[in-house]
A = this chain, B = another copy of it.
Amino acid sequence: METAKITERGRLTRQRIIEATGEQILASGIGGTTLDTVRAATLTSKSQLFHYFPGGKAELVREVADWEGRQLLEAQEPEIHDLGSWESWERWRAMLVDYYIGRGRWACPIGSLATQASMTDPDLASSIAEGMRAWRGLLADGVRRMQRTGTVDGSADSERIATVILAAIQGGLVLSQPERSAWPLEAALDSALAPLHGVATTA
């Protein structure tokens, strides 16, 4: 058994801790999130935090990053595995904007953690980099599907287009966050998506 004995009740508590920590990190950053505020929000005790996360805060943050990463990918279902038509890309785009802005996140759980912690926690940094690569891979798959249908020039570099789209998301959020407006994100995203519907970038 890899994970020590854990009952259903324990699993729920553990999950509750992860989700509450995720919310606090998104709202206040890693530095603004303390074990005491997590404890208060989850109605747990110090010993529980260390019982479920023996590695302390660092391990907890890493688990949060993993979980948020999975959530982010799940939120993009089912479109993320389609992306074979412009309509699918449009639905995916709408979902994404809603995920970030509509739900009041205003930041990417992954991208934001990347800039916050990549310099202090190498483990977390590589985990995040891996998540980014996975995400980029799914987008690149979509781009290749568009190339197969002929909508997109077959000679274009699909990985590169996927990277540009990801960068647009992350950069758009960096600008949207302080402005509290969705439009930088939408502008950046639409600009990056332009090559996917056979229309030149018109800005």
Contact = CB atoms under 8 A, between A and B. Distances in A.
**Interface of chain A: mostly helix, strand, loop or mixed:** helix
Interface string A26-55: 011111100000000000000000000000
A69 interface: no
Q: How many copies does the complex hold?
A: 2
A125 B107 CA distance: 14
A49 to B, nearest CB: 20
B120 A28 contact: yes
Interface in A111-159: 111-112, 114-120, 125-126, 128-129, 132, 153, 156-157
B120 A31 contact: yes
B156 A166 contact: no
Contact of A167 (B112, B115, B117, B172): B172
A101 interface: no
A164 B203 CA distance: 8
A74 B33 CA distance: 36
Interface of A: 27-32, 107, 111-112, 114-120, 125-126, 128-129, 132, 153, 156-157, 160-161, 163-164, 166-172, 174-175, 177-179, 183-185, 187-188, 191-192, 194-195, 200-203
